[in-house]
Chains A and B, each alone.
Chain A
Amino acid sequence: MEWTYQEDGGVRISKLDPFLAELVQQIPAAADADASSAAQQRLFYSPVADEDDPSEEIQEDWQEYVEPGLRSLFVSADDVVRGDLVGMQMTKHEGAAMFSLEITKANLHAWISTLNRARLVLAETHAFTESEIAAELRMNFETRRDLALFQINLYGLLLDFLLDGVESL
């Protein structure tokens, strides 16, 4: 896998083998906030403890007004990512199929949002501990959970690369 920063502020990810390309294609699905109740609780929660909000006013306002706004924000970012993934190109490299992807500067923040959310959703859904996430990456997958851990690390690598490419905030 290679990545390059373009002169126009966009990024190009190339030499993705079919396995990595498929995992990249799964980013929007992996970022689904409703993938599990644990993911929902992580992403949508009232910011105020009961003792500071005895009338539950803030909690009710959050559920009624803030959560729908967050969901809309997340869906918009995912739609941008899906749109870019449609443009993934296949080429032959030394006889093997390889895939490449272009991300424009305008779409970087949507990718950053979706990648970060994918990592959170996977971590919550599979209940990974901090030590599991920090452990040395394994390439042998025996379970769906093993694959999810690999996805968290792959998406983290892509996220770090995209953050480096973000020039202005």
Chain B
Amino acid sequence: MKLYDPQNATKTEPGIQTETIEDEALESVWQVVVHNDPINLMSYVTMVFQKVFGFSLEQAEKHMLEVHHQGRSIVWSGAREKAEHYAQQLHGFQLLATLEKI
């Protein structure tokens, strides 16, 4: 945020000067997406989701069925560094996982 800059200040009224404020760009949000691979067993994918994300069995099965029926599921979204960390873990479990910038 850029605070009061006398060089660029505009006097609109005596004693009043405008401030130029610029917002920094918000950090991009990234999604972790798991894609379907017909080789992976449904029980295996469910186990991986529970282990990596701490999902309950119900949550894990919900995401697994999304992958199975819709071809993909967004399993997490947030800051890039953490998204990369999750993607790395999913690759360690040999799931098809990608990162998408929102």
Interface set of A (CB-CB < 8 Å, partner B):
43-44, 47-49, 52, 58, 66, 69-70, 73, 112-113, 116-117, 119-120, 123, 130, 133-134, 152, 156, 159-160, 163-164, 166, 169
Question: Which 5 pairs from chain A and chain B are nearest by CB?
Answer: A130-B38, A47-B87, A52-B101, A169-B51, A47-B99
Given contacts A47-B84, A152-B39, 20 further A-B contacts (CB under 8 A): A43-B91, A44-B91, A47-B87, A47-B91, A47-B97, A48-B98, A49-B100, A66-B91, A69-B92, A70-B91, A116-B93, A119-B39, A120-B37, A120-B94, A123-B39, A130-B38, A159-B44, A163-B47, A164-B43, A169-B51
Number of interface residues of B (CB under 8 A): 22
- Chain A residue with Cβ nearest B95: A116
Q: How far is the CA of A43 from the CA of B88 in the complex (A)?
A: 11
Instruction: Classify the secondary structure of B's interface with A.
Output: mixed
Tell me if B25 counts as interface (CB < 8 A to partner A): no
Q: How far is the CB of B63 from chain A (nearest CB, A)?
A: 15
B27 → chain A closest CB, angstroms: 14
- CB pair A160–B43 under 8 Å, yes or no, is yes
A contact residues around B47 at 8 Å (CB): 112, 163, 166, 169
- Cα A69 to Cα B37 with chains together (Å): 22
- Mark B residues whose CB is within 8 Å of A: 37-41, 43-44, 47, 50-51, 84, 87-88, 91-94, 97-101
Main DSSP-derived SS at the A contact region: helix
| Chain B: CB-nearest residue to A65 | B88
29 A-B pairs, CB-CB below 8 angstroms?
Answer: A43-B94, A47-B84, A47-B91, A47-B98, A48-B98, A49-B98, A52-B100, A52-B101, A66-B88, A66-B91, A69-B92, A70-B88, A73-B92, A113-B93, A113-B94, A116-B40, A119-B39, A120-B40, A120-B94, A123-B39, A133-B38, A133-B39, A152-B39, A156-B41, A159-B41, A160-B43, A163-B44, A169-B50, A169-B51
Contact A163:B41 (CB < 8 A) given known A48-B98, A49-B100: yes
**Which residues does chain A contribute within 8 Å of B100, judged by CB atoms?**
49, 52
Whether B43 and A116, one on each chain, are in contact in the complex, defined by CB atoms closer than 8 angstroms, is no
